[in-house]
Structure 1
Amino acid sequence: MSEGRRIVVIGGSAAGPKAAARARRVDQHARVTIIQREPDLSMASCGYPYYVGGFFEDRNKLLCTPTGVVRDPVFFMNTKGIEARTKTEAVSIDRDRRVVRCRDLESGEEDEVPYDKLVIATGASPVMPPVPGTDLEGITTLQSMRDADLLRRIRDERKIKNAVVVGGGLIGVETCEALELAGIHITVVEMLPQILMFLDWELAKLLENHMKAKGAHVITENPVSAFLGEEGKLTGVKLANGTELPCELAVVAAGVRPNVGLAGDAGLDVGSAAGGIVVNGEMQTSDPDIYAAGDCVEIPNLLTGRSVHAPYGDLANLQGRVVGTNAAGDEHDTFPGTIQTGVCKVFDYAAGATGLSERSAREEGFDVETVVHAEPDKPGFMGAKLIVMKMVAEKGSGRLLGVQCIGPGDVSKRIAIGAMALHGKLTVDDLTVADLPYAPPFSPAVDNIIACAQTLQNKMAGRLRGIPAREVKGRVDAGEDLFILDVRGADEYEQMRLGIGEVLVPLGALRKRLDELPQDRAKEIICYCKISLRGYEAARLLEAHGWTDVKVMEGGIMAWPFAREK
């Protein structure tokens, strides 16, 4: 094989191996080398919580191809003709001489690897709270295979009884499930007002309620102030309000920070806002012969135009493919940016979001309309499971800005549809007539995301005056004189009620019992049912009979994030 261009990739987790493999496929004559500090390659790091949780036994499944072959240096050389140097640290980059100085972590020997094109895929490092005691034995993260091996061993030994997870983001809630399933009592500590900040509060609260029902304890707005220990070992976690939580294990999942030291030392541009390596659409750094991809870069948010740090495994692979194409040839593939789509599993629920939440959209200056919609994910006779969805759109234009979803139903499918709608810059009106696949095993005849869009369309057109559950609860707590109408059946009411002073008049009897409602037609009435479909029908009926201030509590009882009276 004749010698082609020399492509060196620093980093062997996701973006790096993808870039190397793509470069090889584009140019069979290129000399491709991966420099990897860790002993493993192509780690499926998003699978760590599920390995820890015992969803599968063989750790090599995190390192395998779909056919079961471990992606080790021998695999990369024999299958792809790529030299993969593991346990090797890239110490520095000399841009003038176009060499990477490397150190063998076992022997300590150093050498130089020349390049024509260089790819930096150095990933990100976990953020540790700036508090005393972080060096105690018993504190870990879930950022590496070593961390996963440690936590899996702890799970299998079943000696530890109490653990604290610091951080309520994606990794935090997934780790909570993994350890709770091992019989460890878990407390999740989140410094912010809610878990999973990509959700708005009301959906995050529903998910928190589910976690608590599964045995986990969740504390918000009370950050860790110190890790406590004796004889160098962790014994507890102290919170800002003085509470001390006894524990033998603490898993820190408080976010990650881009690893930009190598790039910064080489004089490459690093962003001041998101803190990642600055790249253009072709994933080139400020040096056109050096590319960067994965968790070490910052990229544009396609909805706001702002640079963001988006450490997602799927994005790392997409970026790696673009980098491999461009580094290996004369093509100019581009990666446009992100709408920040994510999904996670939390016990029996899934939680996902794409685009902007209501909170983030308002912070960005958008004038928005929102709706919360609850509905089963398929017909009842096919084993339906609940989905609670929130949709955010721009007023006036009706342009979709974001979709959030939680519940035991098929959340991922609806988030995927929402993501493609965002990429296509669709409006709410577009979604109301979307041609999606239907069969009873998979969805209702009108899919959840279409029904949610139709509900939002009604709201934007003035046919539906929705009111969020959080506002209803706040007004009840404030002692406002509200007439709250529950239009479910009597049997449903006996099984569960909200206990907020509601009056039961089943929808089927409402036309005959209008005299039981306030006769002041200007009196505010708030209607709801299980998911508020009947609540909407009741509201339309009351409006037709002269009531002028009728609202529907969005999502009904199933989207009520507060305590209920059973």
Structure 2
Amino acid sequence: MENQPRIIVIGGSAAGPKAAARARRMNEFAEITMFQKGPDLSMASCGFPYFVGGFFDDRNKLLCTPTGVVRDPVFYWNAKGIVARTNTEVTKIDRKNKQVDFKNLVTGETGSQPYDKLIIATGATANKPPIPGIELKGITTLQSMQDADYLRKIRDDGEIKKAVVIGGGLIGIETMEALHLAGIELTLIELLPQLLMFLDWKLAKLVENYLKSKAQVVTQNGVAEFIGENGKLVAVRLQDGSEIPCQLAVVAIGVRPNIELARAAGLEIGDLGGITVNEHMQTSDPDIYAAGDCCEITNLISGKKVLAPYGDLANLEGRVAGENCIKGNVASFPGTIQTGICKLFDWGVGITGLSEEKAEEAGLEYVKIVNASPDKPGFMDGKLLITKLLADKNSRRILGAQCLGPGDVAKQLAIWATAIKGNLTVDDMLNADLPYAPPFSLAIDHSIASAHIMQNKMNGLFEGISALEVKEKVDRGEDIFLLDTRGADEFAETRLGIGETLIPIGWLRSRMDELPKDKNKEIITFCKISLRGYEAAVLIKAHGYTKVKVMEGGIAGWPFEKEK
């Protein structure tokens, strides 16, 4: 047919294939070509750590449709009518003549191809710091399919005994678990003071304490040099001069957008180093769109531009770009609330919306609470969840939630992500009509309980204090009364060892005389999850005490070593 649009897509990982497929669904007769620099298409890159770790053995599962068909060039042509050129690099975008130059990296073939609309989905590249020895054999990233193949072979061969993972972000954490499953002795190295910088410090410390049961963890110390013998890695030297023997190092210190083509073509690049796009995924050139990890997008809460290299967002952005190339700017991707989650051995760890740090950067007044409680009843083997919730002090709108633990973290984050996206308030969540049955939830779901705690705090029914603030008060030697309201058996099994006094909640009314005589003295109450601590605080305040606080999260949320 005449005058059908010619669509070129640069990139074949996540955003690119989604854009090409969406464009085809919008117009059966458009001429669509997808260029992919590597040999594979539509890789489920977020699944790389699980292939490496042996959760499944067939690498093609990372490349397959839900029905098991590998997404190769033959599939794209037969199933979608899309020409997919693998091992082919686009070397130039000629905006004046509306064409791209390309080179086949296997055959050396070069050529040019015209376009009416162009979609850039060039993704991101793993950061590799300019550290001496970085080129030694045994140093890799986990960004490409080839990286995953390399690490899977190491796992299967079983010859590597010691490894380091450099970087305590999402990829580093997931890679650590994958290598741990291979029986490799591991050390995780993070230059910054905490792991998972998207979490607030207290929750990140809980993650660190848990990880230490699986591997060595080093923070506030970076790699100064990779040490080799005969071209192979044998150790890393840290900035403090210590050395860690290893035969493998996985560098996982984040990614940077691939914008070289866009920059050379004169497209606008944002302050964070990503391609600038509007809500239609349109660049500064109206005939060129961009999607995925190479772009800057808007944080919907703060309004600021962010880099958000997540596979789910790449697919959503690609779908919008593909539709708009055909239909005009009818579809929108407004932005992100930056929801992220990772599996950490038996734990889930994740965030949606703003952390405290990001809320402060945005100039927002907020209230925070911590809820440490099970995801299901104890008789259904309920597991602990620790949720930190932020809400706007004035509008009471939900701003962010962080959640971790062995319980169903994904469900909690999904609930809060929907609440944030829908601009729901704490009061909207108090009576949320969520599904309940003991195999799935408590009668009052953990998320609803979190909203109840937030309402109580915002309405002045209790004053909370974080475990970090309690620890700082103790370390400063402040004159405070620490009241543990658990049972004697619980106290005998685990205690904080910070000078606390045990009065079980059931005995408190008959032992009020054991409280300080000065009713203006600060009293901090807690229990395992601080539900009994809250009840104790209400009771004590009713007896005229003026400075009563509840340690939020209780012992379950204490990020320091506990006494046994």
Residue 29 of structure 1 deviates from its aligned partner by: 0.4
Q: Distance in 1 between matches of 2:56 and 2:289?
A: 36
Count of residue correspondences: 564
- Structure 2 residue aligned with 1:234: 233
Query: Secondary structure at 1:271's aligned position in 2?
Result: coil
Residues 224-245 of structure 1: CA distance to partner in whole angstroms, max 9, x if unpaired?
1221212221111121111211
The farther-off stretch of 495-504 and 34-43 is 495-504
| Deviation for aligned residue 1:330 | 3.3
Q: Which runs of 4+ in 1 moved over 6 A?
A: none
Q: Distance in 1 between matches of 2:123 and 2:273?
A: 12
Secondary structure, counterpart of 1:513 in structure 2: helix
What is residue 50 of structure 2 aligned with on the other side?
50
The question of 1:175 aligning with 2:146 is answered no
Map of 1:409-448 to 2, 5 A cutoff? Answer: 409-448=407-446
CA RMSD of aligned residues (A): 1.0
1:268-316, Cα deviation, whole Å (9 max, x unpaired): 11112x1100011110111111100000000111111111110000000
Q: Which amino acid counterpart does residue 253 of structure 1 have in structure 2? A: A
* Partner residue in 2 for 1:190: 190
Residues 303-342 of structure 1 show CA distances to partners (whole Å, capped at 9, x for unaligned) of 1111111000000000010011011223510100111000
Which residue number in structure 2 is paired with residue 18 of structure 1? Answer: 18
Q: Does 1:471 align with 2:469?
A: yes
1:346-371 deviations in whole A, cap 9, x for unaligned? 00000010011012211222122111
* Equivalence map 1:55-66=2 (5 Å): 55-66=55-66
Structure 2 alignment gaps of length 5 or more: none
TM-score by length of 2: 0.99
* Equivalent residue number for residue 283 of structure 1: 281
For the 8 Å contact 2:280–2:329, the answer to whether it is kept is no
Alignment of 1:138-157 (within 5 A): 138-157=138-157
The one-letter code of the counterpart of 1:172 is G
Matched, 1:208 2:213: no
Partner secondary structure for residue 241 of structure 2:
coil
Q: Which amino acid aligns with 1:379?
A: P
Contact kept? 1:3, 1:31, Cα under 8 Å? no
Alpha-carbon separation, structure 1, partners of 2:484 and 2:312: 44
1:81 equivalent to 2:81? Answer yes
- Report which stretch shifted further, 454-463 or 66-75: 454-463
Cα displacement string for residues 91-117 of structure 1 (whole angstroms, at most 9, x for unaligned residues):
001111111101010111101111111
Tell whether 2:545 aligns with 1:547.
yes
Distance 2:156 2:404 in 1: 30
Deviates more, 1:74-83 or 1:125-134: 125-134
Q: After the TM superposition, which residues 483-522 of structure 1 pair with which residues of structure 2 at under 5 Å, given as runs?
A: 483-522=481-520
Matched letter for residue 219 of structure 1: V
Alpha-carbon distance between aligned partners in 2 of 1:191 and 1:416, rounded to the nearest angstrom: 31
After TM superposition, give the deviation of residue 2 of structure 1 in Å. 5.8
Report 1:303-452 matches (<5 A): 303-330=301-328, 332-452=330-450
Given that 1:378 and 1:443 are in contact with CA atoms closer than 8 Å, whether structure 2 keeps it comes out as yes
CA distance in 2, matches of 1:236, 1:179: 17
- 2:263 is aligned with what amino acid? G
Matched with 2:135 is 135
Q: Which amino acid aligns with 2:265?
A: A
Which residue of 1 is the match for residue 269 of structure 2? Answer: 270
Aligned to 1:246: 245
Quick one: which amino acid aligns to residue 244 of structure 2? L
Q: 1:163 aligns to what?
A: 163
CA–CA distance in structure 2, aligned partners of residues 424 and 408 of structure 1: 27
**TM-score, reference length from structure 1:** 0.98
Distance (whole Å) between structure 2 residues aligned to residue 133 and residue 302 of structure 1: 42
d(CA) in 1 for partners of 2:125, 2:212: 29
Letter in 2 for 1:325: E
Q: Deviations over 1:135-169 (max 9, x none)?
A: 11111000000000000111111111111111100
Q: CA separation in 1, counterparts of 2:273 and 2:433?
A: 41
Q: Match of 1:384, as an amino acid?
A: G
Q: 1:480 aligns with which of 475, 478, 481?
A: 478
Q: What is the CA–CA distance in structure 1 between the aligned matches of 2:189 and 2:129, rounded to whole Å?
A: 12
Instruction: Give how far 1:130 is off.
Output: 2.7
Whether the 8 Å CA contact 2:354–2:401 is kept in 1: the answer is yes
Counterpart CA distance in 2 for 1:83 and 1:405 is 43
1:481 to partner: Cα distance? 2.1
Contact 1:388 1:555 in 2 (8 A): yes
The CA distance in 1 between the partners of 2:302 and 2:164, in whole Å, is 35
The Cα shift of 1:3 comes to 6.3
